[in-house]
Copies of this chain bind each other. A is one copy, B any other.
């Protein structure tokens, strides 16, 4: 797993895999009228190269392969790589080198790239018209290649192994954070990288969330499905030190990143039987997940899945508790892969249309005042034909803690 040979640093994706990803990027670029893109976001660089480096990737649709403008590590070189010290050095590479065609309508990640950086690049490349390529990369990344699915399944296998160990980590009298810390350690020993990649400046989370009791109903600043006060107002989300009591749901939604690709999986646990209302809401969550999994086929509108989930909550009289109680999340699922908030988004006003190769986390959860949070989250793979494949294999029932 670890690379002793530093020459491996030079290794990028093999050309067949890179070709598949570039063809998706190229199609999205053509739809936006872009001849070239300049990528600086780590998640997007990882998508294109299979590794993270400091610098830029430039790709012109008239060229076969991208050019890598590398600031750091300083030893990373092959024949498509150039060293840069600052963004202004891009001009020499894009205009004066024989590595690539020069840009005209250049896409950049304007939703992510800081304003000052875009201005510097516009100034360094005065003949270029800069356009927004955020949607290009989002669209390209929303459909996974078979290799990406294999990597997600690898992460899932290791994550499920740990989720099954959780009852052995629990001791009566533990607080939410104490149990979470033991799960964190088990995940890390299993190879979890810990890093939770999320798109968006305001989003932060450390290693996942474990919720019990009234804390589940504490609104958070972050746009996650569930809230929680957290251990400190500098990071107000998740476990807050609440004691885990018997007969209460314990919702575990931890980090599943073992190789740069994540699955998202939530399971509930309990020390003893939970009350009937909790059990009913949990079963409804499982039913909604099953229903959405059956609906998730190419061509289906993402918002139709949200509407179906909401309708099922209404039918059960549980809409006040659906996706939160004091504060409601505005979605029931989201694309997942390199980041936890990829396309498609399953939300009322989403314009996303499902495609084969989408990997989607479905998380219809309920917050029941006086009880806590219940429900499950599965990651599914939308297939060309037939029902979507459920990637998360841990049993869905509430799992006994002892």
Contacts and interface: CB of A to CB of B under 8 A. Distances in A.
A202 B57 CA distance: 13
Given A234-B51, A234-B52, A114 B111 contact: yes
A220 interface: yes
Interface string A77-111: 00000000000000000000000000000001011
Contact of A181 (B189, B227, B232): B189
A221 B72 contact: yes
A43 to B, nearest CB: 9
A41 interface: yes
Nearest to A180: B188
A327 interface: yes
A323 to B, nearest CB: 13
B327 A72 contact: yes
Contacts of A223: 54, 72
A348 interface: no
Interface stretch (A25-33, A136-144, A191-199, A353-361): A191-199
B259 A201 contact: no
A62 to B, nearest CB: 26
A219 B72 contact: yes
A201 B112 contact: yes
A385 interface: no
Interface of A: 1-4, 6, 9, 11, 40-42, 46, 50-54, 72-76, 108, 110-119, 132, 134, 177-178, 181-182, 184-185, 188-189, 191, 193-195, 201-202, 204, 206-207, 214, 218-223, 227, 229, 231-236, 240-242, 257, 259-260, 326-327, 338
30 contacts: A2-B229, A2-B242, A4-B240, A6-B219, A6-B229, A9-B233, A9-B236, A40-B201, A42-B202, A42-B204, A51-B234, A52-B233, A53-B221, A53-B236, A54-B222, A72-B220, A72-B223, A73-B221, A73-B227, A74-B219, A75-B219, A75-B327, A76-B219, A114-B115, A115-B115, A115-B117, A181-B185, A193-B231, A232-B259, A234-B260
